[in-house]
Amino acid sequence: MHLPLDTLLAPPVNARLGRIIALISLVLLPTTWVLQAQTPDSDGPRPGQWDNMISLPPFLVEDDGGQPWKVANLEGIEVLSRSSDTLSKTIVDRYLRLQAMVNLIYPPDLQPSSVVPTVLVINDPKLQVTTSRELTETLQRQLKINYADKSDSYIPVYHFWDQDTQVMYFVIDEFDNNPSPVSFTPAYFRFMLETRTPALPRWFIEGMATLIETVSLPVPPISRRLYNFGNDAATISWSDPVDKVSVQPFVWQSDAATKEMNSLVKMMAKSQGVAYLPDQFQFLTLQRILKIDSLDELEMGEASLLAYQAALFIRWILDPDPRELSAGGRENYLRKPMASDLWKFVERCATEPVTDKLFKECFGQSMSVVDTRLRGYLPFACLASAKFQVAPKTTPEFPKASFSTASVMEISRLRGRLERLETVYVKTEYPGVAEPFVDRARRTLQRAYKLGEYDDKLLAEMGLCEVDAGKDAAAKPFLAQAVRLHVQHPRAYFEFARIEYARLIEENPELHDATDQLKIITGILEAGLRQKPALSTSYNLLFEIWLRQKLILSPDQLAEIDQGAALYPRNFRILFGAALLKTSQGKFADARRLIDQGLHLFTSEKELKQLSGLQEFIARTKIE
């Protein structure tokens, strides 16, 4: 549904605003609410590979026989484990080591952040409940298809997530005789790249996701009891030193394309005495790469070029001693940008358009100069000798996990969150077989609640489970109580506000005399936006209500508009809604700035038309 702007903006609250609102009639603001479930890692099973899920056995109430559940809490991490303390501590240690190495090449400031701790669940494959076992067995078969050379040697770790929550699910047989390495998959890196707020620039996402394919994060392998002699590294050979990021020789698109590129360089060296890429070797300019916001803007074949050239650019900056030739054939020893320059540039690209001036401010060189240098770097980056390492400045120390017996409430909440997110995954991909997963998650979450044991976190999970199942009425009392207890869970605030707003619209479509009710709803949204991540869905709903609420906004509310536009500059609905709100409040300079920003960032004809229409209205408006 699309409503004319003049039905959304405030009615005249003074003579000046009255004239503003009367003139706006053609610009439209989309107001249809659709909250789509986010799909977990893209490497999951596809249709036709879920046959075993069609005929699940009759559902029984599984007990918790076997090893008791234990919990541990570290900064930003909660652990629920059914393995021995020794193995559990080892897994936590490896997770922390992996994350520390990721931070060396992808700094924490550019990673997604949430007030909801990451949950690690560690379980024995024989002790899984029916739904989890069916799911992990299917996913493992898919892993063997996608990673045929690695799936048997690496410990399977399954990653489930939604807007503000993630769970890492380790399924590990403690008595397996083989020590196994563990690492993050490319899909997990893409999750971190794609879910950061403000959104990272497209070139950096594609470039880093491509570079990761040639990056090793070696940690000591995980040994089971048979090999547990206090020195895990002794049980398996490892070619790279642990706790140092090892960047392997670069691959240009494919092994075959790399060989073809090397042949061209050799021909160039033989004919002209210069081991340099010939001019006919296809490269996109940085000017083009850095300004693309969507791969849809590229022609066929250019998306791959963008990803590999962006990866080459990032690698060149991370390489501590890159070899490169100038176009004249001499080795180039000019100063190259540092990693800190790259992170500063990426941070600014997330919130402002890329310009030649911005590039030079961050790197001290023009885009055309760096284009030339990258052509001289590529042949050397693909050599076997081009491998390099990124090491921490000091020897890292990692906190030790201390495990204790889990309470019924902790089991309900943490295992319930895993099962809830499994349900989201199955419901998104295979809705026809999702009901047993919903039932399993609901019963796990309600186990402690029925015993009278609950807190704000469990209540939020129970409410979100019902939302994910499409049961808003059942979700409301749990979410309401969690919000009243000031739960740290941004999505709980959005969902509760969304449910209340939908009820209000159903009862009072024109929102007559609804100021007090709307104030409560916007207060809920604002409370959620003070937590990380500040959800785009919360800003969308907040802006819609303010456009219909018919009030002059306070300085704090105007600042909230600026914050939403800053966090989501590439989200058209948020940026355009912010521009409309600023216009409705007579803040024309702010509105023009947002419109100019949008005209640089968006390419859709419809979006550009709406921005231009608002721009023309502001230009015609005369204030007496």
What is the residue extent of each domain of the chain? 2-38+405-620, 255-386
Confidence of residue 145 (pLDDT cuts 50, 70, 90): low
Q: What mean pLDDT comes out for the span 315-341? A: 86
Three-state DSSP at 494 gives helix
Residue 297: per-residue pLDDT: 80
Per-residue pLDDT tens for 564-616? 999 999 899 999 999 999 999 999 999 999 999 999 888 889 999 999 999 99
Per the structure block, which two tokens stand in for 401? 């996990």
| Cα gap 357→337, rounded to integer Å | 16
Q: Is the pLDDT of residue 47 over 80?
A: no
Per the structure block, which two tokens stand in for 329? 């054939």
Q: Is the pLDDT of residue 192 over 90?
A: yes
More confident site: 321 or 461: 461
pLDDT > 70: what percent of the chain? 80
CA angle in degrees (0–180, nearest 5) for 55-57-59: 125
Residue 132: per-residue pLDDT: 67
Give Cα separations from 269 to 232, 251, 261, 263, 274 (angstroms): 48, 21, 12, 10, 4
User: Quick count: other Cβ atoms within 10 Å of Cβ 260?
Assistant: 14
**pTM of the predicted model, to two decimals?**
0.84
Per-residue pLDDT tens for 110-125? 999 999 999 999 988 7
Q: Is the pLDDT of residue 484 over 50?
A: yes
Q: Is the pLDDT of residue 500 over 70?
A: yes
| Contact call for residues 195 and 118 (beta carbons, < 8 A) | no
Amino acid at 21: I
Residue 235: per-residue pLDDT: 34
Residue 154: per-residue pLDDT: 61
* CA nearest to 423, candidates 458, 381, 467, 469: 469
More confident site: 330 or 215: 215
Radius of gyration of the CA atoms of the chain, in A: 27
Q: Is the pLDDT of residue 29 over 50?
A: no
b/e string for 191-225 if b means 16 or more Cβ within 10 A?
Answer: bbbebbbbbbbbbbbbbbbbbbebbbbbbbbbbbe
* 583 Cβ contact list (under 8 Å, min separation 6): 9, 20, 24, 591, 614, 617, 618
Q: What mean pLDDT comes out for the span 162-166? A: 95
More confident site: 19 or 107: 107
Q: Which CATH class is domain 2-38+405-620?
A: mainly alpha
Per the structure block, which two tokens stand in for 34? 């659709």
More confident site: 229 or 116: 116
Q: What mean pLDDT comes out for the span 6-35? A: 32
